[in-house]
Structure 1
């Protein structure tokens, strides 16, 4: 496992790193330090076809300063960059470091970056995806190293109830982010392990927001170049600066004329998972059906297990309405992931049904 430790000033004078992952960050930093005004960024593709969008320098700089202010991270902080820097979450760690003059430690993205022996010295700040946070919490060595750090940002995918329970046992502050490439990383945060559980996200300063007639969130601010960014996220505005995320509008299916929120089914499914069985990757989806139009189903990564299926269905039927009980379980070898580690649900379903 290779490591690259650098700073803004060092990048100006040192030779480029050989590792291809680090080289991407190096070339971006060179472009930034030479005053480039526009940058092309990839979207993750978790909710649609991946695309390239152009972001202005000021948008990136404003986002970086907002995060540093919100999390009280001054110049000279040490950060760990263990995410893919070709996508917004990893790239913004580089931008924040350049804008705030932080020391950057780069490692290859992996499920548990804190197991690398050379990373024994605590970091002031690191950003993780839920998969990494889960792996770190599940290992005594990496968990201890995480506890010694200053602040943790987790995003890129939903945090499961199981991971939330583990996170609340941590003393290091852990914040969940809300945002996307189009908003230049996060525009809202909630602390997962506050003394009193924060269910709502709080918008960062200077972010304007509201909902459309579908109750889907829109945001606008300097980070969006003052352009309105309309999302498909169903939310409940809970105060002048907070909101509760309900689920995605495009995660609602129509089964026999009845609407089913797939995010809700996933949450209830996890609550019903047998305690004596390790939680397997899964997601609820739909299958075309002559009678219902869209039939509610579940994909589970792993070998077929009728016992798990029966236990979940029995418990779930007591927590949801009859039409919200899945009509079929499909156990598959692997759930397809996006380059940023999110579950690629449409691609997984398409592959399964076209076999």
Structure 2
């Protein structure tokens, strides 16, 4: 009998399994109900999503992360989520009965999409609590998993149990990328957002030929889009995404990029974060990348008002660090070095743990006078 190909959200793949068990639509609704009534907090989230997925609506309501503004609820068509799952399956050549690990919060789009991929592609998916250190079955090999950088860093010793890992939700530090070199697992950094139904582009982080490693090499720094997705720039030099199977309209982002082709780009940073100091433009994210392995605490680059320069670069550091060795800034150009360092006990975060830069800067703005 031929293996079914699922292209409609109303059907579940015959090879789909949740925690080792196959469920029909009706049985899966029963499982969802049990999760909500008796499950752990992360299982309750899974149960709620499964109920929404199996209802009569053609969309689900998803909250944005709020990292660049106030979180908002948006409607995403279930068929768009199916199309996204199919694109990921094609990119990674995922097959029915492949094993997947789910260790992200299901209340956000990345966690929801892990379940959708399993139901659409026929994956056997295991649920684990979305903790900083996923406690998954070390005796079971997995084909696919999505994680945040902190989780990735914490399971380095078990990497070879997962064939392919996509990582997103926060920048991947240069120190972590170095740790990834030489391991068997294939690790990709993802680019996407709630509005794009999770990732629409991926960048390989390890197992690259030595000649391609290094920050200056295009092949080691560029994202490549998934099938049926094309990109361009607007007049601000921000990324515009043309993904007809995910969105009826082009998606205009606030991400500054360098375009290499209609399917390949380099991410420079958020236009919201760009600092104009003395007529020069600085991308905080690019400076932060140079400092990632030099400063142990969480930090970010921002600016404060300056009479002659307009804006002046500053560094905000979280925690009780009293001073930073000047050698930490040796990799920066002279005009990239922050003129002031501010320490805060805790940064302002979104519900998903992302730093809210502007609100955090407001906490120390009274110290500028």
Instruction: Mark yes or no: TM-score above 0.5.
Output: yes
Count of residues in correspondence between the two structures: 334
**Cα 1:242–1:194, aligned 2, differ >3 Å: closer, same or farther?**
farther
Alignment of 1:184-199 (within 5 A): 184-196=197-209, 197=212, 198-199=220-221
TM-score using structure 1 length? 0.87
Look up the match of 2:117. Answer: 96
Q: Choose the corresponding residue for 1:161, options 174, 179, 202.
A: 174
Look up the match of 1:182. Answer: 195
Structure 1 residues without counterparts, runs of 5 or longer: 138-142
- The question of whether the paired residues in 1 share the 8 Å contact of 2:196 and 2:247 is answered with no
Matched, 1:206 2:206: no
Matched, 1:297 2:279: no
| Alpha-carbon distance in 2 for matches of 1:342, 1:225 | 25
- The question of whether the paired residues in 2 share the 8 Å contact of 1:266 and 1:283 is answered with yes
Structure 2 residues without counterparts, runs of 5 or longer: 1-17, 213-219
* Residue aligned with 1:76, SS: coil
| Alpha-carbon distance in 1 for matches of 2:68, 2:172 | 17
**Cα 1:68–1:57, aligned 2, differ >3 Å: closer, same or farther?**
same
Look up the match of 1:241. Answer: 263
- The question of whether the paired residues in 1 share the 8 Å contact of 2:300 and 2:316 is answered with yes
RMSD of aligned Cα (Å): 2.2
Matched, 1:73 2:94: yes
Deviation per CA, 1:171-201, whole angstroms, max 9, x where unpaired?
1111111111111111111211133343211
CA displacement at 1:348 relative to structure 2: 2.0
| Alpha-carbon distance in 2 for matches of 1:239, 1:221 | 15
| Alpha-carbon distance in 1 for matches of 2:191, 2:161 | 25
- The question of whether the paired residues in 1 share the 8 Å contact of 2:182 and 2:207 is answered with no
TM-score using structure 2 length? 0.84
Look up the match of 1:286. Answer: 303
Q: Structure 1 stretch 338-347 or stretch 39-48: which is displaced more?
A: 338-347
CA displacement at 1:221 relative to structure 2: 1.6
Look up the match of 2:328. Answer: 312
| Alpha-carbon distance in 2 for matches of 1:125, 1:232 | 30
Alignment of 1:19-98 (within 5 A): 19-98=40-119
Matched, 1:329 2:345: no
Q: Choose the corresponding residue for 2:161, options 148, 162, 185.
A: 148
Look up the match of 2:148. Answer: 129
| Alpha-carbon distance in 1 for matches of 2:145, 2:365 | 39
Look up the match of 1:140. Answer: none
Alignment of 1:247-258 (within 5 A): 247-258=269-280
